[in-house]
Chains A and B, each alone.
Chain A
Amino acid sequence: MSAIIKQHSASPDAAALVADQPLVTGGLDFGGITEKVSGIVERKTPKAWWLAFSLAASVLLMLVGSIGWLVYEGVGIWGLNNPVGWGWDIVNFVFWVGIGHAGTLISAILFLMRQRWRTAINRFAEAMTIVAVICALMFPAIHVGRIWVLHWFFPVPNQMSMWPNFRSPLLWDFFAVGTYFTVSTIFWYVGLIPDLATLRDRAKTRARQIVFGILSLGWRGGNRQWRHYELVYLMLAGLATPLVLSVHSIVSTDFATSLIPGWHTTIFPPYFVAGAIFSGFGMVMTLALIARKIFKLEDIITIGHLEKMNKVMLVTGSMVGYAYISEFFMAWYSGNIYEAFTFVNRAFGNYAWAYWIMFLCNVVTPQLFWFKKIRTSIPVMFVISIFVNIGMWFERFVIIVTSLARDFLPSSWGYYAPSKWDIMIFIGSFGLFFTLFLLFLRFLPMISMTEIKGVMPEADPHAHGHDGHAAEAAGGEA
């Protein structure tokens, strides 16, 4: 933490900045922060949590049952057909991967760019990322026809000397998402260590002492530990940053490297990354607003934080809108009749309804964030964040399904509609998401106590003239 603070102290404007916009309100001091955040996981489990958890777990059970039937009977239970070989399975995959973007983005990129407001939401967003990527990874695994030979994706030495096909974007995908998941998890866990030590030290039962004792890896808050810790955290941030950009770029190559009109376009990598950040922030916003309300975190996740997130959504939503329009321009400008048809078909063909839902949700609604009043209105931003989630799901649907349904030869054109199993597995994936997320909320500190303390005025040496002590105070609270 001292590293960060030192960097801040190097900036002449830092003090003014902090003074300008308090990132924590409500007169909380370090002890108050610890009490507020740790208390959530230490108090008796609230009824509301049980209610939410049992609901989520039931939906998860539906997912497990559906997947069981899928493996037993075959992917024919989905609505896929000959031209449309990928439907909701891959739509959901890209959707969840997209959602999984915000966490690492908030953690790593904003960390490197010294956007200190991120501290209120980064832990929370990282957890969401990991859970979303778990949901995402499930889909490519279950979408294959023969899941029992899925290990052939792994480049494992075998008696046939048979490697996977490194030219296939699906393999790149496998590595990209796998790497992203690994690095995100490590980054998240490393960030958790001081807070886990806090929980260990506050533990009242033997079980909690042991569990948090093991998980906190012997953290004592010593100076050497802080030095190593901050170095690792910085390096992991540096490592995770390109991943945020690469993972969705790679996912987009699943489509961009193919020759199907509507997939075969060079704009996809940046367009997908922008869309991913957009959808990720949408999902963070939805969850943050709920958690903020339920756990009374208004002082930590302030309206200022939310407004900043809305600005990010406005920017990325506009980028996505720009991409939609430039796709149309390129389709026309290319002079390729297949390409041109695909885009006209998207907007006016038999999937036009999906296209216009997407357009409305992703391009039109975020534009409302130009108005400060809307940007700072919690009910409105909640609704818009839901719209963004819906719109981004439809974006993937439009890209994947409309392109496949009508490609080159009209004889093979088809129409795809999901079966009840598609729908149940999609809903079920939310069950998985919320089950894991609720477990996180219940058992781990949802806000990084360590880091939030670092951005409080008490931690700023220039504010109080206690250079170097604030950090120890922050860690030493444990």
Chain B
Amino acid sequence: MNGSDDSTKHLSSPRTAPHWRSIDDLERTPGYADRIAAEFPEGAMEPGRGIDRRGFLGLMGASLALAGTAGCRRPEEHIVPYVSKPEEITLGIAQRYATTMPRGTENLRLLAHSHEGRPTHIEGNALDGATGGAVDPWASASLLGLYDPDRSRTPLSRGVASSSAAFAGEWAGLHAAALAKQGEGLAVLVEPFASPTLFRLATEFRAAFPKALWAVYDPVSDENIQRGIAQVTGRRLMPVYDFSKADVILSLDADFLGTETRHIENARAFTDRRRIRDGKDTMNRLFLVEPTLSQTATMADARYVVPAGAIGVFAAHVAAALGLQGLAPAALPASVRPDAPRAIAAALSAARGRALVLAGRRQPPEVHALVAAMNDVLGAQGATVSYIEIPKSESSDTASLKALVDAMNAGKVQTLVMLGGNPAYHAPADLGFAQALPGVRTAIHASPHADETSALCAWHIPLHHYLESWGDAVGFDGAPGVIQPLIAPLVDGRSMTEMLALLVTGKDVKGYDAVVATWKTLLPAADFDKDFRTVLHDGLLRVPAPAADIVPVNTGAVAVSMSAALKAAAPGKDALEVVFQLSPCVHDGRYANNGWLQEFPDPVTKLTWDNAAVMSRATADAFGFKNHELIRLSLRGRDIGLPVWIMPGQADYCVTVALGYGRAHGRVAGGVGASAYKLRGSGDADFEGGATLARIRGEHRLACVQDHHGLDAEQMAREGVAERLPMIVREGTLEEYRAHPEFAKERVEEPPLRSMWDDITYKTGHQWGMTIDLNACTGCGACTIACQSENNIPIVGREQVLNGREMHWIRIDRYFSGTVENPTVLAQPVGCQHCEMAPCEQVCPVAATTHDEEGLNVMTYNRCVGTRYCSNNCPYKARRFNFFNYTKDMPETVQMAQNPDVTVRFRGVMEKCTYCTQRINLARIAAKREGRPLKDGDIVAACESACPTQAIVFGDINDPASRVSKMKALDRDYALLGELNVRPRTTYLAKLRNPGTDMKSTNLP
């Protein structure tokens, strides 16, 4: 699969090729360390700020050597370039290795591309059937995190650069002392994980230090969901949804296609039920109830705007209509039609056994208990939802953090070890973690950056990136997999596995050894080496998913627990509701120093480089606020300053704030936005009422990649947009489609599109084309970041985004239709459309952009003079101009993230989507070498590969059997601005909604 056969070969390759040295050999010789230290002075492995040529070569050499011995992947140190080339490596051809990106209890299986030992691109591992090899922007951009020049390079001991060895020495003493006291005075704070090795080590730790405190905390987690389910089942279980079996879905504030756990898997299964080929196909139906517009709203068939605090009330009304007894909810918010819950309940009941209710992690446990009860009534368990215990995992538990802070305040913690996380920044404000931390005698913090927490600690240990660590991880399907490194560590630190192993044993344990020790228990001893190699190759141990038990649900418990949640007070002008939102860009702040993600437009607000106080038009009007004006948001005596951003579809008097901004450190993250954690308490719900707003003088321009018009635009512009929108994003209902299958093509009345001369017909050879199914696209933006990584697209910074100069080759256009109070949301990815009659080509005075015989609109960077005429004449505005030399100041480490197959563009040059022409050529060469014709699927564009919903299909339109030809043959297919007769090669499939026939205009309040 996917060329990762290569890694199997590596496993069998000799570890010590004749002209290479391996550390293991050398380690046995006396004076080894001294000699190595003399020849490779400290730092030769790390690309420091002022790295010299020798240092860089050293690093590259080490990386090359590492790739050559990919099977074992011990850090090998070589600075000799290939004298004779290892058999497995062809310079210039990327190799792909399976690995896993650990993300709390949720792990994402990946294939990482490596060019000569240098990871350059991240794709999903298609062996994971649930993701199908898709990724999200966080996964794609994690590559840049590896090369982040702001990563700490050495351990810091009380703020002074130290070494890993020095830390190991100090820890040996602490370890011995703690052992003697059975761990009294020792505390550990970890991030949630699901990993056989970490789980084993954690268990060993607790056995060795029975009196030590063990806390698990993640600022954004599924704790509420698990606690809610515990209320009705007695066990902390995690729901796993099977959207492929769900006909009717009610989502209560769950952004399950965007930011909730398993959003990739959800998106794929959900959209599998929306791939309409003809009128006979059926489609699922999504009711979405939420306080703030989420990415999931793109797919909602009916959406209800309800303040976060009233979601429980809404849910109770639906539950009551479903027949759950004992609920006495307060009245519905005025924004919702009173008969809506009953109608939803009817639709759910009608699809009994094929219905699904789910709630977002923001909602308190009581709502999740109610949801479990509703699913029980609907017979969902075992069909559309199952409850599992996440194997080998430790989940976030706020109570454990509270206990830790209490112990710290009581002076009972002398040694605190924090593995990952940044609690001084993100711990609930009311706990006072940052205030308690300096009281701990020896605080040790392992993290990628010397951050807010590290500054308060005695020790900071650089935490290795997953691409340079050994580890393992287990999926929700119960299949364990490995985290294997692709590069020797760039910094002097430890991986998570190594840190925990050091804590337990007091000695340095190699990550690889720790992992193998665990896997010896997972795999049969007889064929361990062979089996483990297979696991390394596949990235996971392929085991059949265990059948989930049917868990009895005590619906009776719900009424009692809900009683408090049912009396939500409606937010008002003097007591607003603050809704905390996991940032689709910087997550909980962990990716804040990642330029790709800072410049990644939020799929809903389209903001980059900032968070904002998102509020409805009516709320802004009530206070007299305008976009960009600075306001002070106060909650329980704590306040932060934020610019205003007005969004449609937002509940009135409800302010949404994204987490993860307002970081103190990092040349990218520092000073961007404001930290919402300063307001966030440790309460059950991730929203809180009683906030106030006040104007601060001044404004802060928010860098939005769209909406230079937006809601503030003149009446005339709004009408102009409304008039053309049905032609641009063609959308209809399922009913309409069944009645008029050609509706999409009929949305525009075209004159006969004729040409004055005989056109080139492009009927021979391969003719590349693309389709984008708008009925599958959720607007998540995975394509944007995958493309950025594949094509070396620079980031330009906030100022330049404000100037309208962002460089993304594929952007997601987001449009609204309907009312400002509750619009429908439409997403449309747009890149270069590779027009056959390309208007850009005709106007270039120097023929820098031309057409090739396979229908590609090719751009010759070297020929480009930079008149920008092509961009002016592009009706899609898909071209991007290098106004400055954006790569001039690119740190050398970041240069390592660049794809060597793609030219880095200089200033003054136009660029745009190439349909991943480098991938086309690689596949062509591979096919030619193998003496076979190119076949459909050989070429996968980067955007296509990343897309969680397979909305993007690329291929040969001259081959009637190709997937893309079949998509283009569907009657939903249309060309964007096709009436201009530019004949774009990218076409779109019209979006369908399924509001049902039982509820006319349900989308309106």
Contact = CB atoms under 8 A, between A and B. Distances in A.
B200 to A, nearest CB: 51
Given A408-B977, A410-B725, A144 B908 contact: yes
Interface stretch (B77-85, B262-270, B477-485, B874-882): B874-882
B813 interface: yes
Interface residues of B, number: 59
Nearest to A417: B803
B842 A167 contact: yes
A409 B716 contact: no
B728 interface: yes
Given A153-B845, A341-B720, A75 B867 contact: no
Contacts of A259: 839, 873, 875, 980, 982
B565 to A, nearest CB: 40
B542 interface: no
A333 B462 CA distance: 68
Contacts of A407: 875, 877
A145 B980 contact: no
B845 A165 contact: yes
B815 A411 contact: yes
Contacts of B872: 85-86, 258, 260, 404
Given A82-B804, A412-B877, A415-B708, A345 B720 contact: yes
Contact of A409 (B713, B728, B881): B728
Residue of A81, A344, A348 ringed by the most chain B CB atoms within 10 A: A81
B507 interface: no
B866 A76 contact: no
Given A85-B869, A349-B716, A146 B724 contact: no
Nearest to B909: A145
Contacts of B846: 152-153, 164-165
Interface in A129-171: 143-146, 149-150, 152-153, 162-165, 167-171
B907 A164 contact: no
A348 B839 CA distance: 29
B717 A406 contact: yes
B863 interface: yes
B814 A410 contact: no
Given A153-B846, A258-B843, A344-B716, A410 B724 contact: yes
B884 A74 contact: yes
Interface string A406-443: 11111111110000000000000000000000000000
Nearest to A163: B847
A174 B865 CA distance: 14
A170 B909 contact: no
B908 A153 contact: no
Contacts of B907: 74, 76, 145-146
B813 A411 contact: yes
B845 A174 contact: yes
Contacts of A337: 720, 723-724, 727
A457 interface: no
Contacts of A84: 804
B877 A83 contact: yes
Contact of B868 (A86, A149, A162, A341): A86
Contacts of B882: 74, 145
A348 B980 CA distance: 26
Contacts of B839: 258-259
A406 to B, nearest CB: 7
Contact of B717 (A81, A146, A349, A412): A349
Contacts of A404: 872
Contacts of B709: 406, 410, 413
B706 interface: yes
Contacts of B830: 409, 411
Contact of B721 (A81, A143, A410): A410
B716 A81 contact: no
Given A80-B868, A145-B907, A350-B714, A165 B847 contact: yes
Residue of A259, A350, A410 ringed by the most chain B CB atoms within 10 A: A410
A interface SS class: loop
A83 B847 contact: no
Nearest to B850: A165
A145 B865 contact: yes
A254 B882 CA distance: 22
A146 B908 contact: yes
A90 to B, nearest CB: 9
Interface in B693-734: 706, 708-709, 713-714, 716-717, 720-721, 723-725, 727-728
A411 B847 CA distance: 28
Nearest to A87: B868
Contact of B847 (A85, A162, A257, A410): A162
Interface string B844-874: 1111000000000000000111111101110
B867 A144 contact: yes
B877 A82 contact: yes
A337 B867 CA distance: 29
Contacts of B800: 76
B805 interface: yes
A338 interface: yes
B12 to A, nearest CB: 48
Contacts of A414: 708, 804
A168 B869 contact: yes
Given A82-B877, A145-B907, A170 B883 contact: no
Interface in B786-827: 800, 803-806, 811, 813-815
Contacts of A144: 865-867, 908
B720 A344 contact: yes
A73 interface: yes
B717 A409 contact: no
Contact of B883 (A74, A83, A167, A409): A74
Nearest to A416: B804
Given A81-B803, A409-B728, A413-B708, A146 B909 contact: yes
A415 to B, nearest CB: 5
A79 interface: yes
Interface in B889-933: 906-910
A75 B717 CA distance: 29
B845 A146 contact: no
Interface in A311-355: 337-338, 341, 344-345, 348-350
Given A168-B845, A170-B845, A150 B868 contact: no
B865 A349 contact: no
A412 B873 CA distance: 13
Contact of A411 (B716, B814, B871): B814
A84 B864 CA distance: 18
A29 B804 CA distance: 65
A79 B720 CA distance: 25
Nearest to B875: A408
Nearest to B873: A258
A145 B716 contact: no
B885 interface: yes
Nearest to A170: B845
B805 A350 contact: no
Contacts of A410: 709, 720-721, 724-725, 728, 815
Contacts of B908: 74-75, 144-146
A225 B911 CA distance: 58
A342 to B, nearest CB: 9
A144 B908 CA distance: 7
A312 B864 CA distance: 43
Given A144-B865, A337-B723, A413-B708, A169 B843 contact: yes
B844 A165 contact: yes
A145 B845 contact: no
A348 B977 CA distance: 25
List the 6 shortest-distance A-B pairs measured between CB atoms, nearest first: A145-B866, A145-B908, A76-B883, A81-B804, A85-B868, A411-B813
Given A80-B883, A82-B880, A165-B847, 5 more contacts: A81-B804, A145-B864, A171-B845, A254-B869, A337-B724
13 contacts: A82-B881, A85-B871, A86-B872, A144-B866, A145-B865, A145-B867, A170-B867, A258-B839, A258-B872, A341-B724, A344-B720, A345-B720, A350-B713
